[in-house]
């Protein structure tokens, strides 16, 4: 992996991250393909929409189909038919959010499989070994996702465990990684405490990660608390390495984070909300199931040129949702991903023209949250 800065406009920046499998222009949005499929879409549709990198969830893939089956396909790319880069998380976040029985100590975390109740043990070494089997281009260290709310003591203890695991992940990655082009990112924790976040960043910056992520956000905290962490933390992160904000967010979340220097984003909302009939437009979210759209002959978003907007009316797409037709979820997904990719492209263009602040202001004024 190589990365280079293209332009900086205030704290916002455009970069290019190069892999053998393809180049990623940032700020980038990465659609989430939990089980080896970005829900409803084929890999070719994602390419056509302009996806440059997608995300896979190690936790879900280790449970179904399991690493043996992906190994037999020579990795996740071949399993799911996606040739461009893939980022995989380590499973840490899902263990805390999805498993009921979790046992943790400094050596390992144990959790119950939500599919069959089996007890699964994960260590930093095992998390790296599985991601190596997945063959992902960007791999993430195993971390403990600090709960919210947490006392400073709790956040500190949790962070220190993640620090040890970061080093163990790094060591395991460099000892066993079979793909020379794969990159490893560290994850900054520290709860909502600015000083802990700074302390954690200093430790992780001393380990030679290829990039750094901000974890432990979007766990229930108010937007203001999150903004304080982001605004203090991100400008201190190493300038030469990609910065990835995990699990966020809405279009406005993304613009705000870009404005302090974040490069990479992933989030389920454009695809998950699409399946619920929530359509992203430049004027805000449109709930296509609502009755005013029954007779609406306009496209989902008049400013959009995606397949769904070029071919179908709101009235037709509402009808599909009303009848629980799969095509409704598909057309909404195509549109929402297209909206997100176009947003990232507009953000990049505005940064490259040193007009990001103007763009951001105009976008946020138009957008009804």
- Say whether residue 84 binds a copy of itself (CB under 8 A): no
Task: Tell me which of 29, 280, 312, 341 binds a copy of itself, using CB under 8 A.
Answer: 312
Going from the C-alpha of 180 to that of each of 76, 112, 175, 216, 243, the distances in angstroms are 16, 33, 12, 29, 21
Q: Please report where in the chains the tokens 């043996």 appear, as a residue.
A: 68
* Only segment of 164-172, 219-227, 256-264, 306-314 that touches a copy of itself (CB under 8 A): 306-314
Cβ 271 vs Cβ 337: under 8 Å: yes
CB of 354 to a copy of itself, least distance (A): 40
Active-site pick, 9, 89, 253, 263: 89
91 alpha-carbon distance from chain centroid = 13
Q: Which of 8, 23, 42, 278 binds a copy of itself (CB under 8 A)?
A: 42
Choose one: 31-39, 93-101, 126-134, 223-231; the region binding a copy of itself (CB under 8 A). Answer: 31-39
Asked if 81 touches a copy of itself (CB under 8 A), the answer is yes
Q: Which of 1, 145, 184, 329 binds a copy of itself (CB under 8 A)?
A: 329
Kindly indicate which of the ranges 3-11, 68-76, 230-238, 357-365 contains the residues binding a copy of itself, using the contact rule CB under 8 A.
Answer: 68-76
Which of the stretches 69-77, 132-140, 227-235, 347-355 binds a copy of itself when contact is defined by CB under 8 A? Answer: 69-77
The 10 Å CB-count burial string (b at 16+, else e) for 152-188 is eeebbebbbbbbebbbbbbebbeeebeeeebbbbbbb
Query: Which residues 6+ apart lie within 8 Å of 361 measured at CB?
Result: none
Contact 173, 128 (CB under 8 A): yes
Q: Cα dihedral angle (87, 88, 90, 96), rounded to 10 degrees?
A: 110
At its nearest, how many Å lie between a copy of itself and the CB of residue 349? 30
* CA–CA distance, 210 with 58 (Å, rounded to integer): 19
DSSP label at residue 172 = H
Name the residue nearer to a copy of itself (CB basis): 13 or 273.
273
User: Of 213, 276, 282, which is closest to residue 251 (Cα–Cα)?
Assistant: 282
In the complex with a copy of itself, the residue whose CB is nearer, 257 or 320, is 320
Question: Any contact of residue 290 with a copy of itself (CB under 8 A)?
Answer: no
Q: Please report whether residue 79 would count as binding a copy of itself according to CB under 8 A.
A: yes
| Pairwise CA distance, residues 312 & 314, whole Å | 7
Active site residue 195: no
Nearest by Cα to 99 from 110, 84, 87: 110
- Binding status of residue 86 toward a copy of itself by CB under 8 A: no
266 is catalytic: yes
Position among 180, 291, 297, 368 found at the interface with a copy of itself (CB under 8 A): 297
- Greatest Cα pair distance in the chain: 61
Q: Which of 3, 15, 41, 58 binds a copy of itself (CB under 8 A)?
A: 41
Q: Which run of H or E residues covers position 18?
A: strand 12-19
Q: Interface with a copy of itself by CB under 8 A: which range of 90-98, 213-221, 237-245, 323-331?
A: 323-331
Find the shortest distance in angstroms from Cβ 327 to a copy of itself: 5
Toward a copy of itself, which CB reaches closer, 264 or 288? 288
Contact residue for a copy of itself among 304, 320, 332, 347 (CB under 8 A): 320
Check binding of 295 to a copy of itself (CB under 8 A). Answer: yes
Interacting residue with a copy of itself among 194, 327, 346, 367 (CB under 8 A): 327
Beta-bridged to residue 213, according to DSSP, are 187, 244
Q: How far apart are CA 139 and CA 149, in angstroms?
A: 28
Q: Is 319 in the site for a copy of itself (CB under 8 A)?
A: yes
Least Å from the CB of residue 116 to a copy of itself: 12
Radius of gyration of the chain (CA): 20
Which residues are registered as beta bridge partners of 30?
266
Q: Which residues are near a copy of itself by CB under 8 A?
A: 35-37, 39-44, 64-65, 69, 72-73, 79-81, 294-295, 297, 307, 311-313, 315-316, 319-320, 322-323, 325-327, 329-331
Positions annotated as catalytic residues are: 89, 266
């Amino acid at each position: 992996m190589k990365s280079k800065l293209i332009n900086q406009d205030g704290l916002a920046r455009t970069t290019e991250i190069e892999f053998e499998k393809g180049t990623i222009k940032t700020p980038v949005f990465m659609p989430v393909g939990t089980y080896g499929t970005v829900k409803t879409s084929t890999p070719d549709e994602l390419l056509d929409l302009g996806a440059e990198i997608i995300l896979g969830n190690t936790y879900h893939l280790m449970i179904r189909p399991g690493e043996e089956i992906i190994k037999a396909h020579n990795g996740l790319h071949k399993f799911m038919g996606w040739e461009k880069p893939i980022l995989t998380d380590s499973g840490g976040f899902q263990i805390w959010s999805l498993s009921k029985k979790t046992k943790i100590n400094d050596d390992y975390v144990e959790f119950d499989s939500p599919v069959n109740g089996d007890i699964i043990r994960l260590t930093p070494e095992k998390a790296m070994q599985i991601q190596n089997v997945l063959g992902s281009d960007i791999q993430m260290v195993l971390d403990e996702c600090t709960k919210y709310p947490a006392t400073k003591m709790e956040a500190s203890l949790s962070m220190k465990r993640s620090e040890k695991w970061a080093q163990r992940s790094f060591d395991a990655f460099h000892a066993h990684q079979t793909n020379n082009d794969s990159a490893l990112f560290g994850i900054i924790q520290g709860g909502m405490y600015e000083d802990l976040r700074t302390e954690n960043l200093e430790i992780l910056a001393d380990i030679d990660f290829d990039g750094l992520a901000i974890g432990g956000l979007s766990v229930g905290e108010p937007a203001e608390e999150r903004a304080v962490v982001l605004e203090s933390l991100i400008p201190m992160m190493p300038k030469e390495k990609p910065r990835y904000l995990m699990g966020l967010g809405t279009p406005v979340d993304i613009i705000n984070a870009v404005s302090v220097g974040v490069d990479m984003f992933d989030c389920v909302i454009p695809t998950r909300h699409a399946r619920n009939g929530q359509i992203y437009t430049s004027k805000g979210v449109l709930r296509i199931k609502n009755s005013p759209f029954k007779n609406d002959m306009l496209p989902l978003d008049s400013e959009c040129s995606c397949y769904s907007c070029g071919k179908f009316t709101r009235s037709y797409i509402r009808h599909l949702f009303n009848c629980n037709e799969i095509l409704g979820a598909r057309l909404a997904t195509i549109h929402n991903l297209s909206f997100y990719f176009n947003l990232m492209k507009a953000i990049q263009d505005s940064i490259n023209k040193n007009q990001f602040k103007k763009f951001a202001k105009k976008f946020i004024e138009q957008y009804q949250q």
